Chains A and B, each alone.
Chain A
């Protein structure tokens, strides 16, 4: 599917595969992809996080505010990320202790944290501060043809692939998402597994937010609006199931790239920006249908 999309966009607009454009895609894809990794993990364990888009905006704003109030640049980034982990832990506590569906909990969190962002900023973007240049270099510094953010994304993909496929915790994630009662009766604590994944999802959302803010050198209160849905779409296109228990890290990478390529390809093809959502919607439905058809075929072959 990724291949087909690339081919179609190349045919419509040959510059799509130019060096410059590939570079652009490799710059923007990690900002969605890192966040999607966390969302996918959480989804496999059977929960959603709709608040990732708001955390994506909040994290860089906390970061730049701490810096402008005189904090050390590195320390303020770490503090902002810890705050994100706190938000994830809060999502987990409300969802798991009060037994409220995470769809509702995180829908609430999405509104609350977006509201907080708007309250703090008054709706105005925060300007970039020159003293934070070192952090910018670290997150999105140019390294040859690519930016460092791609390297970070690569590391994150590798680490989370290992966690999911080659660690005990990864086995528990699948077990908890696929059959929570069964997992519990085998001595795995589903709430613990889910809580860790909520924290990971918020942490990675915050990190993605930082990366985008530093690439743009702008700390926008509107950053990440609608991103939660792009993230869920990426996970699902990559093969994750909304019902939990199924999904892969590699799938989430293809899903995120596909969505970013559609975004980019449509611009190059000269389509109005409004088409983006239409296409993501179409791709989502096609991907799910294809999955279903392939599954049925495989079943018949046996």
Chain B
């Protein structure tokens, strides 16, 4: 693997009006690495993820992707590079079916000159394939997403990321509101992705979820980075103390 990290954020600042959400935060993720990003509510975790996924630009600092300095102007740029985000409420549309969800924004079409006819057959076939890739066996790609359980929804979102050859997956509190069993399933997905060469940044305030699977853990507090550890160098107790320290 290359020596350069997959992605590197350097000295990121972000203000909202007069509130400083991030103050000089650095973060890097290597190839085949799961980075845990932890911190209490309001620590700036979600803001950092939004910067990395192209939702807002940083006010100061730079983003390097595979060694190249980049500027995002929209989430679309981030997706094109191979950065996919999975939110708490997964970016799924409940009233749409699974295959339509998987292909939002990247629908396959059959071209007739300027007109593109949605290739529904391909969508059905490919989405079943993608779901099998995350060992999710669903009845039909035409089932509505609202009929799925929380864990299955996250599975669909992760299947989407895998299908589109994402390089970096940003998981924003993916285990919130999930049962223990379903949370475990998500953690298994993330580890499985790592085996397939997809790195993740896993954001959570639940250390018991991220600690077992992470290679590296970064702690944010009040918009600043207060710690970065290889997993072997720390323990859950250490981290808890750091997070709750005011």
Contacts and interface: CB of A to CB of B under 8 A. Distances in A.
A40 to B, nearest CB: 15
Which of under 10, 10 to 19, 20 to 34, or 35 or more describes the interface residues of A? 20 to 34
Interface in A54-68: none
B113 interface: no
A168 B116 contact: yes
B166 interface: no
A172 interface: yes
Most buried by B among A162, A170, A184, A302: A184
Interface stretch (B31-39, B103-111, B183-191, B201-209): B103-111
Most buried by B among A183, A185, A189, A302: A185
B64 interface: no
A183 B118 contact: no
A294 to B, nearest CB: 14
A188 B104 contact: yes
A233 B94 CA distance: 24
Contact of A167 (B92, B93, B95, B116): B116
A175 B93 contact: yes
B136 interface: no
A174 B96 contact: yes
B118 A167 contact: yes
A171 B116 CA distance: 12
Contacts of A183: 91, 93, 104-105
B14 interface: no
A186 B91 contact: yes
Interface residues of B, number: 31
B87 interface: yes
B91 A185 contact: yes
B53 interface: yes
B87 A179 contact: no
B153 to A, nearest CB: 11
A184 B85 CA distance: 11
A58 B63 CA distance: 52
Q: Determine the main DSSP class of A at the interface with B.
A: helix
B117 interface: yes
B75 A185 contact: yes
Contacts of B117: 162, 166-167
Contact of B95 (A165, A178, A188, A302): A178
B126 to A, nearest CB: 14
Interface in A175-212: 175, 178-179, 181-189
Given A172-B104, A187-B76, A187-B105, A179 B91 contact: yes
Contacts of A241: 95
Nearest to B109: A168
Contact of A171 (B89, B92, B95, B118): B118
B94 A179 contact: yes
Given A167-B115, A185-B91, A187-B106, 15 more contacts: A165-B118, A166-B117, A171-B96, A171-B100, A171-B107, A174-B100, A182-B87, A182-B89, A182-B90, A185-B55, A185-B75, A188-B105, A189-B74, A241-B95, A245-B95
Interface of A: 162, 165-168, 170-172, 174-175, 178-179, 181-189, 241, 245-246, 302
23 contacts: A166-B117, A167-B109, A168-B107, A168-B109, A170-B118, A175-B93, A175-B104, A179-B91, A179-B92, A182-B87, A182-B89, A183-B104, A183-B105, A184-B55, A185-B75, A185-B85, A186-B104, A186-B105, A186-B106, A187-B74, A187-B105, A188-B104, A245-B94
Interface of B: 53, 55, 74-76, 79-80, 85, 87, 89-96, 100-101, 103-107, 109, 115-118, 120, 147
